[in-house]
Amino acid sequence: MGTVEAATKQAIESTLAQKKPKVVFVLGGPGSGKGTQCANIVEHFGYTHLSAGDLLRAEIKSGSENGTMIQNMIKEGKIVPSEVTIKLLEKAILENENDKFLIDGFPRNEENRAAFEAVTGISPEFVLFFDCPEEEMEKRLLGRNQGREDDNIDTIRKRFKVFLESSLPVIEYYNSKGKVRKIDAAKPVGEVFEAVKALFTPVDEKAAA
């Protein structure tokens, strides 16, 4: 295994192992309110929010060779390999001085999950799962009016289907490890955040409250 790539992988692993970041995966269907709640967690609990999609988009924008490859894969409707997304996440974690991270929209499937743990040696503290009925998510997405071209009914339903098929096995896996914290995301934003807050507040602080 004396390749440069293997040496680099080993270097990343050891650096990440030394850093021992606290990672929380944030999962939920499109329109479940993940973005809003992540912003609240960042503000109240000092986490750094990493969105797998944002990192991929930023890499494409940078015009790097890696970015061009990602762009071509997306254009062809292919799924970006786990290793590519994981490398971007690792880089973001190592370059940030914080040691607490919300990773949003990843792992998208079981293969992502296994690769992330194998490559980084990191297992999440827990998985924050925003559980929201499809009708509610549909209503929210159609009412968003953010000019996102993927917010039309057919595309929305396709995105739900993909989420259910690929992400639910990840949720089931972590559930079997006792690591899933399910939040009823159909409630108003404020109520949802109260439930989220309870998960992030240290036990000793709750006792003192």
Binding residues: 31-36, 57, 78-80, 105-108, 112, 144, 148, 159, 187
The amino acid sitting at 141 is L
Task: Of 208, 186, 41, 194, give the one whose Cα is nearest residue 126.
Answer: 41
DSSP 74-104: HHTTPPPPHHHHHHHHHHHHHHSS-SEEEEE
Annotated binding site for ATP: 31-36, 144, 187
User: Taking a C-beta distance cutoff of 8 angstroms, is the pair 47, 24 a contact?
Assistant: yes
DSSP string, 6-53: HHHHHHHHHHHHHH--EEEEEEE-TTSSHHHHHHHHHHHH-PEEEEHH
3-class secondary structure, 180: strand
Q: How many whole angstroms separate alpha carbon 148 and alpha carbon 28? A: 19
Evaluate whether 159 touches 142 at the Cβ level (below 8 Å): no
Annotated binding site for CMP: 112
Query: Which DSSP category does 152 fall into?
Result: S
Q: Residue positions in the annotated binding site for a ribonucleoside 5'-phosphate?
A: 57, 78-80, 105-108, 148, 159
C-alpha distances in Å from residue 189, one per residue of 46, 118, 148, 168, 193:
19, 35, 22, 23, 6
